[in-house]
Structures are given as structure tokens and as C-alpha cells.
């Protein structure tokens, strides 16, 4: 079983990178047949800008660029996708959002057009989300930030493509609290990823879903 861990932070010594490394460590400790790859978007220089060329891909007028195809192949090799990122302005950073904008393209992550129902093409993919936040739990609860992030990311992105979000965690107080608990939680997540996968393997999984609606199907882009 193989996991792709995607991390988006400009500093290699950040807590975000440390959490990603602990998740990888936990995967390694879970068994000899469990493998992982870490995609460090900042270090690799991934370009997050959604350009006219990406818009042509969305409209099915051109194939994805080489850099996007490389990222799609990484995901295709994985049973599980883990996103580890700092929370910027109550959302994921632009680097990671741009990675999703470009990589989760029409024709690969989903099939969308105005003449037929939406087809969700990633029901085989399990997802774990780990956000690193500076504020405390009370702040996220009081203002509804945690619920808003789940609606935006868990449902708005991954449910749209049919991928199942298995865990969605926020490791908070990152700027003031001792990081030990966050790192321990990250290692434990790594150990448990494939236990969750085994449960899913023996549970019915949905085929690519066609979503019928009385109105025209809606795009994930405002175009």
C-alpha cells in the first residue's frame, strides 16, 4: 500500500514539515509493505498559477501540461493521499490550493460538461487532511472556521471528485503550544492510515458517480 504525502510550506524546518515526516515515520512503522512518497511543493518549485493553458484543459480543449501530468501520476500510484499544510487566513496556502486547482483537472479528477451528469472519477482514493493552525480550538469553534474549512475542502474539493476523506484534523496552537503532542498525533496517524484502508477494502466502495440534477450541472470554477 502506498501513500502520497503532499506538504506545502516554504521552510524545511517548519512544524508542517516535521508533522509530514512523523506521518511518514508512522507509515514505515506500520509494516514493511507500506510505502510513502513526500511531495514537497515548495522545494520542488511547483507553479500554482492557474493560467489560460489550465483553463483550456478544464474546457477539454487541450491535454494537461507535463508538470500536471507528473502530479496526477503520483496520485495514481497512491492508495492514500495525505495533505499537510499551514492554515493561512482560515484556508490552505495558495501553493497547495493552486496544486489542487491545476492537478485535479476536468477529465482526470471528474468529468464535467453542460450536456451530461457530473462523473466523480476518484472514488478509489482515500484522503487524510492535516492543517496546522496558530489559533486555539475555541477560536475555530466560536467563529465556525473549522466547519467552514470542512465545507470548503472536505466536501467542496474531495467529495466533488468522489474521493473519501477518512480523517480531517487541525493541529492547533502551533505558535505557542509544545509541539510534542502534534508530532505524536502525526506519527499515530501514519500508523493508522493503512488500518483505515483495510477497513475500506472490505467495505462496499462506490463506482464513479453520476450526479443528476434538475438544473444544469455546476462547475467548480466560476467561468
Confidence of residue 211 (pLDDT cuts 50, 70, 90): very low
Q: What is the DSSP letter of 180?
A: H
Judge contact between 99 and 51, C-beta under 8 A. no
Average pLDDT, the chain: 88
| Burial zone of 179 (CB within 10 Å; 0-12 exposed, 13-18 middle, 19+ buried) | middle
Specify the pLDDT at position 194. 80
Rg (CA), the chain: 18
CB 221 within 8 A of CB 156: no
pLDDT band at 131 (very low <50, low <70, confident <90, very high): very high
Q: What percent of the chain has pLDDT over 70?
A: 87
What is the predicted pLDDT for the residue at 45?
A: 97
Residue pLDDT, tens place only, 168-203: 999 998 888 888 989 999 999 999 988 765 544 434
pLDDT tens column, 153-170: 999 999 999 999 999 999
pLDDT-based confidence at residue 31 (cuts at 50, 70, 90):
confident
The edge-to-edge listing of strands for the beta sheet with 118-120 is 110-111, 118-120, 209-211
CA distance 80 to 166: 10
- Indicate the SS3 state at residue 86: strand
Please check the confidence at residue 207 and state whether its pLDDT lies above 50. no
Over range 92-116, report the average pLDDT.
95
Domain borders along the chain are 25-197
- CA 16-20-24 angle, to 5 degrees, is 170
| pLDDT confidence of residue 196 | 64
SS (H, E, C) 97-136: HHHHHHHCCECCCEECCCCCCEEECCCCCEEEEEEECCCC
Strand partners of residue 35: 2
Q: Which CATH number fits domain 25-197: 3.40.50.360, 3.40.50.300, 3.50.50.100, 3.40.1160.10?
A: 3.40.50.360
The region of weakest confidence among 3-12, 54-63, 137-146, 151-160 is 137-146
The cell for 201 is 477494502
Contact 10, 42 (CB under 8 A): yes
pLDDT confidence of residue 64: 98
pTM above 0.85, yes or no: yes
What's the mean pLDDT in 24-52? 95
d(CA 107, CA 174): 38
Mean pLDDT of 83-109: 97
Amino acid at each position: 500500500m502506498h501513500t502520497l504525502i503532499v506538504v506545502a510550506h516554504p521552510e524545511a524546518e517548519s512544524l508542517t514539515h516535521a508533522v509530514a515526516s512523523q506521518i511518514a515515520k508512522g507509515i514505515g512503522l506500520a509494516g514493511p509493505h507500506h510505502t510513502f512518497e513526500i511531495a514537497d511543493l515548495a522545494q520542488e518549485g511547483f507553479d500554482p498559477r492557474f493560467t489560460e493553458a489550465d483553463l483550456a484543459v478544464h474546457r477539454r480543449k487541450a491535454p494537461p501540461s507535463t508538470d500536471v501530468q507528473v502530479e496526477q501520476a503520483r496520485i495514481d500510484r497512491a492508495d492514500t493521499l495525505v495533505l499537510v499544510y499551514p492554515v493561512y487566513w482560515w484556508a490552505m496556502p495558495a501553493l497547495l490550493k493552486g496544486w489542487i486547482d491545476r492537478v485535479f483537472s476536468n477529465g482526470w479528477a471528474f468529468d464535467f460538461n453542460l450536456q451530461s451528469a457530473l462523473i466523480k472519477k476518484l472514488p478509489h482514493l482515500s484522503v487524510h487532511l492535516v492543517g496546522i493552525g496558530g489559533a486555539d480550538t475555541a477560536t475555530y469553534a466560536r467563529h465556525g472556521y473549522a466547519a467552514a474549512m470542512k465545507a470548503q475542502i472536505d466536501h467542496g474539493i474531495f467529495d466533488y471528485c468522489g474521493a473519501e476523506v477518512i480523517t480531517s484534523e487541525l493541529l492547533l496552537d502551533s505558535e505557542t503550544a509544545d509541539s510534542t503532542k502534534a508530532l505524536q498525533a502525526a506519527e499515530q496517524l501514519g500508523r493508522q492510515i493503512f488500518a483505515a484502508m483495510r477497513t475500506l477494502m472490505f467495505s462496499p466502495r462506490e463506482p464513479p458517480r453520476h450526479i443528476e440534477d434538475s438544473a444544469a450541472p455546476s462547475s467548480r470554477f466560476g467561468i
